[in-house]
Structure 1
Amino acid sequence: MFKLLIAEDVKTVRETLVRSIPWDRLGLSLLGAAENGEEALALVEREEPDVLLTDIGMPRMNGLELIEACKTRKPDLRCVILSGLNEFEHARQAIKLQVQEYILKPIDPEEIEKVFASVVAELRKEREARSGSRAERSIREELPNVAEALPQKEWTGNLKKKKLVEQALRYLNDNFRRRELALSEVAAEVGLSEKYLNLLVKEVTGQTINHAIVRLRMEEAARLLKDPANRIYEICDRIGYADQDHFREMFKKQFGLTPTEYRNRYL
């Protein structure tokens, strides 16, 4: 049985959700129904639900703010939005927050049952996958380039989180040489907020996105420095740095040597 929390400020809608949907039959245990975002966030921290069903337009903290705050604390929380047509413009932001589904009011119990049956099925699959060492090994085998470029802590957590991090790191591996590369671009690539992506990558790899970019650039610079045909100012430009002094500073911080000292050691 998975745990569900409801956040809805309209009393009639809240009571309908509690009483009209056969949550037990769907494999969900209803923890409670909060009437505002702050109350819901407190329940998330205390009860650690698996699924959140929330309205958007709530007092104190709206549904999107609630989801972002919850994801920071519990990244694998499944979130479903139930909202009115006049708030549908928020759907794009909901997608970026990895919301499972965006259900429009008025309430259709049959649609809600269908959505949550799908959510529970996905949760069950992930629970089974986490218990199998074969699935863990397959994830490690899917990271050939990134695994070589970045030292990684022991992989823990669910497969979806790992897949998202894998996607972000692959994008870094392909684009770290570009000067304009930024966290916002990587976050957009995987459909997450910048803050949540950074937290997720750090949880899995032990590094922030910016640290990963710097490390990739410095390792590429070290490789290029071993060829005397590559001039230092050219290397600086090729790995995305406009300022040679900044490049020199970052390289020395990484390897304990300036680029010139490093090159002399290998010539």
Structure 2
Amino acid sequence: MYKMLIAEDVRTVRETLVHAIPWAKMGVSLIGAVGNGEEALARLKDEDADLLLTDIGMPKMNGLELIEAAQAGNPDIRCIILSGLSEFEHARKAIRLQVTDYVLKPVDPAEIERVVSNAVKEIGQERQSAGREDHPSSQNEEKLPHLADLLPPGEEGGNLKKKKLVDQAVGYVRRNYARRELSLSDVAAEVGLSEKYMNLLVKEVTGSTINHLIIRFRMEEAARLLKDPAVRIYEICDSVGYADLDHFRESFKKQHGLTPTEYRNRYS
């Protein structure tokens, strides 16, 4: 049996999807039918799925954000979009995310059955040729080394794709933290993920949000520069991306427990 999760915020549509389609006959086992993207992502962390059938317009986390998150955790998952939103931008992004199919509402059980049956057939053929037919829900996950010194002690990174995305985001922050206008949206655009999922992914792997990482890198550089008494504090403030000296002092004290002047007096 191939495992499938349904994410649909409209209860009547969700119940129709669960009860009006002969899933078992198609070789599909439902692992759940949830009402928003966050619930769906939590379920996928608890149990692997081969298929994800999701609406686009959902509260908390929309369907496209859910697909990004699901694919980062399991690159092999097949995703099918069910939505009344037929605008070109959604379809174009769905193509970029390599969505298996796109079905418009109102729900037609026969159409859903056709699309899912095709997806199941494709999965079966791929796994048969790869010698994986007996393990329809297998997922290879490696235990990875720590992500520089950002991972909490004793904890391991996620799967390889997830680590690469976080490496890319952290590397971009490290190279650009001195840019005064640097923000979460810049980092998300660089990596090619939504802001919400980018922040969620980095927080999961490193324990810090993007904004906290920006501040951390700035304060580490400020501490290094403060050890040189020839560099003025206002110059350090400007060089690490702060326009306001009071804001810089407040951020530095929060990070190091000392004001910049106190830190300089102690360590220079």
Q: Shorter-chain-normalised TM-score: which range?
A: 0.5 to 0.7
Question: What's the counterpart of residue 152 of structure 1?
Answer: 152
| 1:140-219 correspondence runs (5 A) | 140=146, 147-148=148-149, 150=150, 152-153=152-153, 154-219=155-220
Question: What's the counterpart of residue 26 of structure 1?
Answer: none
Distance 1:205 1:223, change over 3 A: same
Q: Which TM-score applies when normalising by structure 2?
A: 0.67
| 1:66-81 correspondence runs (5 A) | 66=63, 68=65, 76=73, 78=77, 80-81=79-80
Q: Which TM-score applies when normalising by structure 1?
A: 0.67
Question: What's the counterpart of residue 101 of structure 2?
Answer: 103
Unpaired segments ≥5 residues, structure 2: 104-110
Question: What's the counterpart of residue 108 of structure 2?
Answer: none
Distance 1:57 1:68, change over 3 A: closer
Q: Percent identity over the alignment?
A: 49
Matched, 1:89 2:89: yes
Deviation, 1:213, is 1.0
* Counterpart Cα distance in 1 of 2:170 and 2:64: 24
| 1:254-265 correspondence runs (5 A) | 254-265=255-266
* Counterpart Cα distance in 1 of 2:240 and 2:67: 37
Deviation, 1:194, is 2.0
- SS of 2:223 mapped into structure 1: helix
The amino acid that maps onto 2:250 is: E
Distance 1:214 1:242, change over 3 A: same
* Counterpart Cα distance in 2 of 1:231 and 1:188: 34
Unpaired segments ≥5 residues, structure 1: 24-28
- SS of 2:3 mapped into structure 1: strand
Deviation string for 1:78-120 (max 9, x for gaps)? 4513458944421355478xx4424245756657643676699
* Counterpart Cα distance in 2 of 1:129 and 1:32: 21
Aligned partner of 2:122 among 95, 101, 114: 114
Cα-Cα RMSD? 4.5
Matched, 1:30 2:29: yes
Distance 1:68 1:82, change over 3 A: closer
Deviation string for 1:178-219 (max 9, x for gaps)? 111111111222222222222221221111111111111000
Deviation, 1:128, is 3.2
Matched, 1:244 2:253: no
